[in-house]
Amino acid sequence: MAYVELHARSSFSLLRGGSDPESLGRAAAQVGLPAFALCDRGGVYGSVRLHMTAREAGFRALVGCELPM
């Protein structure tokens, strides 16, 4: 059974994540993850960048969003 990160945050989650979606995707591909989920806070702003990186690197990109109430 392979590990899949389901709650990573990018720099689009202000004050909660520091890396851009492209570098997160490249790191996920480098360690051999079959899929990687980007779950930013308040929006899905980095999803397109992650999907483009995933297409080039050959892993599945998953997108989520944490909505503050």
61 beta partners = 36
Q: What is the pLDDT of residue 15?
A: 87
Sign of CA dihedral 22, 24, 25, 27: positive
What would the mean pLDDT of 30-37 be, rounded to a whole number? 96
Mean pLDDT of 15-41: 95
Distance CA 30, CA 55 (A): 14
Q: How many CB atoms lie within 10 A of CB 40?
A: 24
The per-residue pLDDT for range 35-49, each reduced to its tens digit, is 999 999 999 999 999
